[in-house]
Amino acid sequence: MNNKVKLSLEDIMDDIIELTCDGFVVVDEVGRIALISDKYCKFLGIVKEQVLGKHVADVIENTRMHIVVETGKAELNEAQEIKGNYMIANRVPIVRRGEIIGAIGTVVFKNVDELFKLHNALLDMERKLESYKGRLKLENSITYSFSDIIGSSLVIQDTKKLAEKAAETDSNVLLLGESGTGKEIFAHAIHGSSNRANGPFVKINCAAIPRELLESELFGYESGSFTGARKNGKAGKFEIAHHGTIFLDEIGDMPLYMQVKLLRVIQEREVERVGSSKHRKVDVRIIAATNKNLEDMVKNKSFREDLYYRLNVMSISIPPLRVREGDIQLLSSYFLGRIGRRFNKACSGITSGAMNKLLAYHWPGNIRELQNVIERAYNLIDNGEAIDRKHLAKEISGWIEYKEIRPLEETMRETEIKALQEAIESCRGNKSKVAKLLNISRATLYEKMNRYNMLK
């Protein structure tokens, strides 16, 4: 009698699927589980016999098997989170004679330990990416708007209106003005009111970066371009500013060889990283600023004429503080309020004497200097006190703090007593030596000691 168990096609298929798939599930035309692998059951922590016939959404977390049955569209290599872990899922509809009769899904995982490692690695990458995005957004976002430009003078109001007009265009802007007049605030405000406001605002000070690093900072570099270069290279400021604005402060300090490269970027709208021959397209608006006279620099050949005209499409001259009538009072009150919020003491204002000195000063450092002067004065006042002339720097106030002047006779008396005491102590009371040391006679010495009650 032959007692051998015959293999059925169904048994063979079950074994093949179990061996070749990390986990699988089959659902019928309404999403009920028709078949599920032992591996998948073990991972899910379920008993196969108890879930067969149940709707797949009631058994498997975040499943889309029933959706695939409804849409008839396969979903391949999709990440699926189950029990707080990620895996890769493939979901394919089963079609017979043009009719969807179910779907089969497979998941890829080697073992639970590896799955947990993969999950933790993904979470770590997500955290790093979010942290990087946060820092990038913070570094490349605007801080000021037109409302932060304080002043009621006609000259500053006209300047603001011109800047607001510039914000409505996509042309390059050149901000001209002395140091401390607020060129960066205008650059922030123009970007924030433009159609690029949702894009990055990238700042770079052309005078603060060493010349040998300026090119790689602006245009980026490829791996191995120079000693110390990052393994994967680095994007330059122009690439980071794509679809946004780049603010080139102190443009007058840019070396001539870099001016040539910047001109090409403006003309071709593309950058080439250091160490690369590949051109990368960039869509960037340029706002440049300088406290130098670029026209004179063009004449003496220290600034390229063609670059000057490329940048000088919308030119805005920001007035110095000394010509902004009435704005010193407004700005002083503004800074007083802002600084006061940082200090743990109150200030009752600025006296008329101190304000008159502020108004008379010529302010070579402009708004930045005024802010520093107000902060210094705030540090010197007592709680509740007003800022007065004596709290201002002497070059502004002309204030000289005199010491108490006493009568000459009183000063000479104290000086003589001190000299006698030091001489007697030095000579251990020997009157002859004291008289000789002080170059006076013994009679004069006794007369002085008697006058000051020093005889014993």
Phi, psi of 441 (to 5 degrees): -75, 165
DSSP H or E segment with residue 314: strand 314-317
Identify which of 330, 334, 340 has the alpha carbon closest to the alpha carbon of residue 379: 340
Query: Within 10 A of 122 (CB to CB), how many other CB atoms are there?
Result: 14
Residues in the chain: 456
- Is there a contact between 172 and 194 (Cβ–Cβ < 8 Å)? no
Bridge partners, 102 (sequence order): 28, 94
List, as own/partner pairs, every contact residues 21-26 make where C-beta atoms lie below 8 angstroms and the sequence separation is at least 24, other chains included. 21/106, 21/107, 22/106, 22/107, 22/108, 22/109, 22/110, 23/106, 23/107, 23/109, 24/104, 24/105, 24/106, 24/107, 25/56, 25/60, 25/65, 25/104, 25/105, 26/94, 26/102, 26/103, 26/104, 26/105
Bridge partners, 233 (sequence order): none
Per-residue pLDDT of the chain (456 residues), as tens digits, is 455 545 455 555 566 655 556 688 999 999 999 988 888 888 888 998 999 999 999 998 889 999 999 999 998 888 777 777 667 888 999 998 889 999 999 887 544 455 556 666 666 666 666 555 555 554 556 688 999 999 999 999 999 999 999 999 999 999 999 999 999 999 999 999 999 998 999 999 999 888 888 888 898 888 766 655 566 678 889 999 999 999 999 999 999 999 999 999 999 999 888 888 788 899 999 999 999 999 999 999 999 999 999 999 999 999 999 999 899 999 999 999 989 888 888 899 999 999 999 999 999 999 999 999 999 999 999 998 999 999 998 888 875 555 566 788 888 888 888 888 888 888 888 888 888 888 888 888 888 888 888 876
Write down all domains in the chain, each with its CATH number in brackets. 9-108 (3.30.450.20), 146-314 (3.40.50.300), 322-397 (1.10.8.60), 408-451 (1.10.10)
Interacting residues of 335 by C-beta distance below 8 A, sequence separation 6+: 370, 371, 374, 375
Greatest alpha-carbon pair distance for the chain in Å reads: 154
